[in-house]
Amino acid sequence: MTLKYCQGPDCHSYSTQDRLKGMKGSKTYQTRRRSRLIYDEFCDTRCYNDWFQKYGTQAVDHFGRLKEVKHLTEDNAWVKGYEWNNRTDECQHHTINTITKEQRPLTESQFNDSNYTLNERG
């Protein structure tokens, strides 16, 4: 199992026992290495927050800053749901438009089919 380095810019500066490594007389606090990391990059939320505080604006500018409001229209406001009917003792599936509140029944297979949607864009 390969260990990955935490990408937190100050990870090595936090003086926890698990970061203190090396031979007596030459011990150093070191960046954490883990097989599993938060978002595959950070040992904990402090390191994640440190990274975002330092690089977040640069990252947003690099990958594309949102410069206008986005709209979710009626055409794409359908979400799936279900409710238990105590009278028939059955699960009833439906899709509901979160804007118009229109509700339409779904079969169980339509409900379970992640490609099935009334939305124009999936």
Looking only at residues 38 through 57 of this chain, which bind Zn ion when binding is defined by CB under 5 A? 43, 47
CB of 3 to Zn ion, least distance (A): 12
Cβ nearer to Zn ion, comparing 9 with 119: 9
CB of 40 to Zn ion, least distance (A): 13
How far is the CA of 35 from the CAs of 44, 49, 59, 62, 63, in angstroms? 13, 20, 25, 28, 27
- Whether the CB-CB separation of 95 and 79 falls below 8 Å is answered with yes
Site size for Zn ion (CB under 5 A): 6
Burial of 5 (0-12, 13-18, 19+ CB in 10 A): middle
Q: Is 37 in the site for Zn ion (CB under 5 A)?
A: no
Out of 2, 5, 8, 108, point to the residue binding Zn ion (CB under 5 A).
8
Around Cβ 52, how many Cβ atoms within 10 Å?
13
Cβ nearer to Zn ion, comparing 36 with 71: 36
Q: Is 32 in the site for Zn ion (CB under 5 A)?
A: yes
The amino acid at residue 80 is K
Taking the alpha carbons at both ends of the chain, their separation in whole angstroms is 37
Q: Is 106 in the site for Zn ion (CB under 5 A)?
A: no
Residues that bind Zn ion (CB under 5 A): 6, 8, 11, 32, 43, 47
